[in-house]
Amino acid sequence: MSAPHLHLILNHIPILGTVFGFLILLIGLFKRSRDIKNTGLLLFVLAALVAIPVIMSGEESIEIVRELPGVTHDHIHQHEEVAEVSFIAMEVLGGLALLAMLLSLRAKGTPHWMIMLCFALSMPVIGSMAYTADLGGQIRHIEIRPDFGKELLSTPKTSKM
């Protein structure tokens, strides 16, 4: 399995893990359930762990993907820059979630502010990860690029006879 193949397989897990972690944590907050909140936090931790091979396989993929037709340095560079920020944010969220889970083992449990901090941080992480995924998709999927179709509209059509 090549690095780009591994990257494409794994890159969805941190995104979906964070979204589902957010939703489950939200349910846990409404139900005031320590177990449900810990499940949401666990998904953040797992998403952060899977983000490590995602970023590593992404770095390895650059050498292969940049030689493909239609791939530009600008698209790769933009995706890479945003991915680094998203990765750091994901790791911070995962670390805080792990700490919150460990604190939940105490008799007093996890401080509510820490759960709320994880919850609040998960929202921009989801946004950042979604933006990173969109930029990554634009590397090979020209149809989702913002400028798609502009060159088609400005080029006169020739009819085939």
pLDDT digits (tens, 9 = 90+) for 59-105: 888 888 777 777 778 888 888 999 999 999 999 999 999 999 999 99
How many angstroms separate the CA atoms of 69 and 140, rounded? 9
Q: What is the DSSP letter of 142?
A: G
How many angstroms separate the CA atoms of 56 and 74, rounded? 20
pLDDT digits (tens, 9 = 90+) for 105-128: 988 889 999 999 999 999 999 999
Alpha helices in 73-161 (DSSP H): 73-103, 112-140, 150-154
pTM (predicted TM-score): 0.84
Nearest CA among 85, 99, 76 for reference residue 51: 85
Helix (H) or strand (E) holding 45: helix 34-65
